[in-house]
Amino acid sequence: MSNDISHTESAAPQAASGQFEAESHNMVGQRLDYALSLLLPHMGLRGRKRCIENGLVLVNGRGCSAAQRLRKGDVVTLQEPAQEPADAAPSVETVEPVAACAAGMDCTQLEPRLLAVQGALCFFFKPAGLHTASLVGGTAASLEEMLPQLLSSAAKRAEGDWSAEAAARPCPQLLQRLDHGTSGIVCGAFSPEAADDFRRLEVAGHCEKRYVALLAGRLEEDFTVRRALRTDKRNKSRVLECDTGRSRWTEFAPLYYFDGPELNLPAFDEHSQFHRVGLTLAGCRIRRGARHQIRAHAASFGHPLWNDPLYGFASASEDSDSASDSTFFLHHGCLTLPGATCIVPPPWTFLPPPAVRRAQDWLTTGF
């Protein structure tokens, strides 16, 4: 956000079927994936492409490609995806663990859960290995689809007025999106007004998001990347030569450097790339998130996330056969804005005590 994206490509509010005529909406000559925003106004480009790929979009009753140009007389139809039976949804108590408990991880902190409710905002923990949003036609588990169970479970554990209030509230809208491999806080809003307020605070630079990450190499001093990103039409975000506004900067601060015997961390193996270049625990700060912002910015100045399959140093981890098995460590541990703050430490037990203290200080104060 970074792995943090200011909109969610959610299936839930856009699942209803619909159609439009290209000519009557001045869409003749446009690509289908862009024109589809009429039927899916709150979904991002990647989500619309996923709909097309999964056969949920028809042009004149036939399947099509995202790049297809609409012509005069074309009718675009969005089909409703098949729904699972209502009684098939597992309760939060029976959901299988999202990620295996690997060496160096706190097994008790790897489950998705509600962290806090503050006014009209709520905060959830998303473990690494879980998608944030549900995509139309997708089958992978996501935090978004677990929200009713997570809220219900939290209400059952609570007592008094909050329990009754929580049970009566609507399911929140998620306001952030973290990468599949990133853990940490995801904020939600119980009302459209609260969501709009959050967006305004983001744009004004009053929403601060602090992460901790393991970076390859030795980061000697604080460093800020001010470059804009191109995130459209590609899996890998591209760092541009032009600067961007301050709300899109990424700030890096070295917290702890691993060297010598400390490189034999229980979470890693002897073939990992950090043995060649060393390893830095860094604090990262952003205010608005673009896709892969922290990952791309870190790599742009020579300190990619350790073992990052997309942005890391050239190694076996970038091969197609092994990229899916690569693990990078990025955790969104603090979200603060006027009137609300949520902090959750990373579930990494391999950090030595001095590194733990530095990470806690960073997430709590931002120095």
CATH 3.10.129.10 is right for the domain spanning 105-365: no
- What is the structure's pLDDT at 302? 93
- What is the structure's pLDDT at 50? 77
Is 306 buried (19+), middle (13-18) or exposed (0-12) by CB count in 10 A? buried
Distance, CA of 87 to CA of 67 (rounded, Å): 38
Tens-digit pLDDT profile for residues 196-215: 999 999 999 999 999 999 99
For range 251-277, the mean pLDDT: 72
Under 8 Å CB-to-CB from 136, ≥6 apart: which residues?
A: 11, 14, 15, 40, 43, 47, 50, 51, 54, 56, 81
Under 8 Å CB-to-CB from 43, ≥6 apart: which residues?
A: 9, 10, 14, 37, 51, 136
CATH architecture designation of domain 18-78: Roll (3.10)
pTM, two decimal places: 0.73
- What is the structure's pLDDT at 212? 98
Same fold, 18-78 and 105-365: no
Q: Considering only CA atoms, which of 35, 33, 141, 18 is closest in space to residue 80?
A: 18
Lowest mean pLDDT among 261-265, 303-307, 348-352: 261-265
- Position 13 confidence tier, pLDDT thresholds 50, 70, 90: very low
- What is the structure's pLDDT at 109? 84
- 3-state secondary structure string, the chain? CCCCCCCCCCCHHHCCCEEEECCCCCCCCCEHHHHHHHCCCCCCHHHHHHHHHCCCEEECCECCCCCCECCCCCEEEECCCCCCCHHHCCCHHHCCCCCCCCCCECHHHCCCEEEEEECCEEEEEECCCCECCCCCCCCCCEHHHHHHHHHHHHHHHCCCHHHHHHHHCCCCEECCCCCCCCEEEEEEECCHHHHHHHHHHHHCCCCEEEEEEEEECCCCCCEEECEEEECCCCCCCEEEEEECCHHHCEEEEEEEEECHHHHCCCCCCCCCCHHHHCEEEEEEEECCCCCCHHHHHHHHCCCCECCCCCCCCCCHHHCCCCHHHCCCCEEEEEEEECCEEEECCCCECCCCHHHHHHHHHHHHHCC
- What is the structure's pLDDT at 64? 86
Which sequence spans correspond to the domains of the chain?
18-78, 105-365
